[in-house]
Amino acid sequence: MIIETQIEVVDRKQQELTGVEEIMHVKLAFNSDDVSAVRQVIDDNDYDVNIKKCQIYLKSGEYFTIYTPYKQILELLKERK
C-alpha cells in the first residue's frame, strides 16, 4: 500500500543565498511494505509527544518524520496484513 503524507525539508538554495534555514513542506509517498518500525515523535526543545507527527523507519535503514499521526499510520499498517 502506498501512503501519501507531508514532510519538512530545508530549502538549501534559500539557505545558501540568505544564510537562514528555511523549512518547506513537500509531499512524500512511500510503500508500507518497506516500513520496519514507526514511533511517536517528541520535537526538539519539547517534552510532549507531537500527536500530528510520527517517525518512519524503513527496512533499508533510512528514516524520516512525517506529518501523519502515529495512530493513523499504525492502523494503515495493520490493514495491509
Residue with cell 524503513: 58
Distance CA 73, CA 70 (A): 5
Please report the DSSP string for 31-67 in residue order: EGGGEEEEEEEE-TT--SEEEEEEEEEETTS-EEEES
User: Band of the pLDDT at 81, cuts 50, 70, 90?
Assistant: low
Output the pTM of the full model.
0.81
Locate the domains of the chain by residue range: 2-79
pLDDT, tens digit, for every residue of 19-66?
Answer: 888 888 999 999 999 999 999 999 888 889 999 999 999 999 999 999
Q: Look at residue 18 and give its three-state secondary structure.
A: helix
